[in-house]
Amino acid sequence: MTHGSLFSGIGGFDLAAEWMGWENIFHCEYEDYKIQFLKKRFPKSISYGDITKTNFTIHRGKIDILSGGFPCQDASIAKQHGEGQKGLQGARTGLFFEMVRAIEEIKPKYIIAENVSNFLKVNNGKDVRTALTELARLGYNAEWRVCRASEIGAPHHRARLYLVAYPSSVRLQQTETFFSFLQEK
C-alpha cells in the first residue's frame, strides 16, 4: 500500500503507515521544524511545505491511503469564548478544503482524517455535514468514530474524531460497517 500524509505534524500517520508496511510517498507540513524532523525520519518521502501552494496531481492514482489531521484550532472546545468556534469558516480548520482539493487531485483509494471530537458539534453539526457532503461529491462514503486515548492505555481521555472514507462503489449491507467489511476480506 502507498501512503500520502497531509498536515503531517511530526509524522504520527507516517509512522503508523511504516509499521503497517506501507510505503510513505509524501508528507505535507507547514511548520519548518516539523518539516526538518519529517525529512530526517522519513528521508525517502517527498517533502512538501504549504498545502495551499502544493500541486498534488503528480500523485494521481498512485496513493492508496491519504491521511490528514487537518487543523483543529477553530473547532476546539478551547475556543468556546472570545472569537468562538468558527469551525470550517476559520482560517485554520478551514484548511480542510485544501485537503478536499488534494483528494480531488490525488484520487486516493481511501482517506483517513482526524480532528477534535468537537468537530461533530461545531456550528450545530453543519461542519461535519459539509465535510461528508464534500467527500460524497468526490465519490466517497465515510464512517467516523470518536476514540479516547484512554481506550488504548494512555493516562488521559483526550477524545479524537477519526473518519475513514472509501469509494462509493464499495457496497455494504445495512448492518455492516467498513471496518467489519475489511475484517471479512
Please state, in angstroms and rounded to a whole number, the distance separating the CA atoms of residues 185 and 177: 13
Q: Which pLDDT score is estimated for 147? A: 86
Q: Which pLDDT score is estimated for 179? A: 57
| CB-CB contact of 104 with 57 (8 Å) | no
Q: Which pLDDT score is estimated for 155? A: 84
Q: Tens of pLDDT along the chain (185 residues)?
A: 999 999 999 999 999 999 999 999 999 999 999 999 999 999 999 999 999 999 999 999 999 999 999 999 889 887 665 567 899 999 999 999 999 999 999 999 999 999 999 999 999 999 999 999 999 999 999 999 898 878 878 788 888 999 999 998 887 766 777 655 444 54
Q: Active-site residue 72, yes or no?
A: yes
Q: Which pLDDT score is estimated for 76? A: 87
Please state, in angstroms and rounded to a whole number, the distance separating the CA atoms of residues 99 and 6: 7
| CB-CB contact of 11 with 31 (8 Å) | no
Strands laid side by side in the 46-48 sheet: 46-48, 23-28, 2-6, 65-68, 110-116, 159-167, 140-148
Q: Which pLDDT score is estimated for 171? A: 74
User: Which residue out of 72, 142, 163, 164 is catalytically annotated?
Assistant: 72
